Amino acid sequence: MKFETPLFVTLLCAFSWGILVVLTRITLLEYSIAPATFVFIQMLSGGLILTLLSYKRIKSIGVAPLKQIHTWGFGFFRVFSASFYVGALVYVSATNVAFMGATTIIISILMVWLVLKRKPKLIELPGHIVILVVIYLFILKLEGQFSNPAVWLLLVSQVIISIAIIIGETHPLNQNNNSGDTLYLTGMVFIASAIMLLSLSYLGSIFEAQLPDDFYPVFRNHITRFVLQDFFNPYAWIFGFLTGATFRAAAIYYSLRSVALTSSEFYLGSMSMMPFVNMIFEYPAMWLGYLPQEDFVPSMLLLGTISCLASLYIIFFKRDKGDVKAV
């Protein structure tokens, strides 16, 4: 589509992820739905809707995406990343999780350097230093500081999502500028991800059952949240379908479009804008009683804003794979 410029696509991606995270957190807390079940329904519904929207590709492309190891690899790492990210939301607000996610760009640049041989520029270094210092100060303001499970759950999620995005960028079927092909590919990715989550959830339930009762509770609780439960909860299907067919579908679609038009590092760095989208929806949800009240801390907003600006500083010098694509 002509209007799908890198900047437009990336902004829509940040908006989609931001509102999806807030809506997911509201639903999980309001109806006590198992996170894995909710994500599974979102993926399944998103896959079916996107496949139907691009029905012409069913004849021309068929099941070719499901024959690609990249599709299953992207789905596998997306599932694991979502699991740990949702786990972090149990301990801190969506806005704070997103602010801490600024370190993803550092991890992604190191991985891209290692895997895709795109060497970072020395001029980017001040941005990395600022992010590390700011996130350190940010964590010190959290309850429990570095012992807060959200810190480590998010760190694992960041490593995994960086791998997933690199796979998405190098996916053989995500190398052209055809948005219709990407729409169909996204639907296939969702279906693969849903199958992957279903399989991993079954294995997780077997593993969890073998753990002793006094096993490390945080880790055990996370495994439990990874297992499909509440499968017959009508609220899980209603809200899972609504959010999966809209915002999760849009988020993954625009993720793949963004990395195709720009680069993994640009996409992940641009997601530093997501906390501000979260704030727009999260604080009204708190005032209306849909989310637990949390005090507004100006210093944390300031630190988060600085880390966001540092991320934007970095991607200014890393606007795409070549170096600029009509942003």
pLDDT by position in tens, the chain (length 327): 556 777 788 888 888 988 898 888 888 888 888 778 888 899 999 999 998 888 788 888 888 888 889 999 988 898 888 778 877 877 887 778 888 888 888 898 999 898 888 888 889 999 999 999 999 998 998 888 888 888 988 899 899 999 998 998 898 888 877 778 888 999 999 999 898 888 888 787 777 777 777 666 666 666 666 667 778 888 889 999 999 999 999 998 988 888 888 888 888 888 888 888 888 888 888 888 888 877 777 888 888 889 889 988 888 876 544 443 433
Q: pTM for this structure? A: 0.82
Cα-Cα-Cα-Cα torsion 288, 153, 122, 270, nearest 10 degrees, comes to -30
Q: Nearest-CA neighbor of 234 among 2, 28, 33? A: 33
CA 104 – CA 132 distance, rounded (Å):
11
CB atoms within 10 A of CB 53: 17
Measured CA distances, 120 to 111, 113, 320, 325 (Å): 11, 7, 12, 18
Note the pLDDT of residue 1.
Answer: 54
Query: In this structure, what token pair is assigned to residue 27?
Result: 């639903």
pLDDT of residue 221: 65
Question: pLDDT at position 75, please?
Answer: 87
CA 161/CA 107 separation, integer angstroms:
10
Residue-level pLDDT at 320: 47
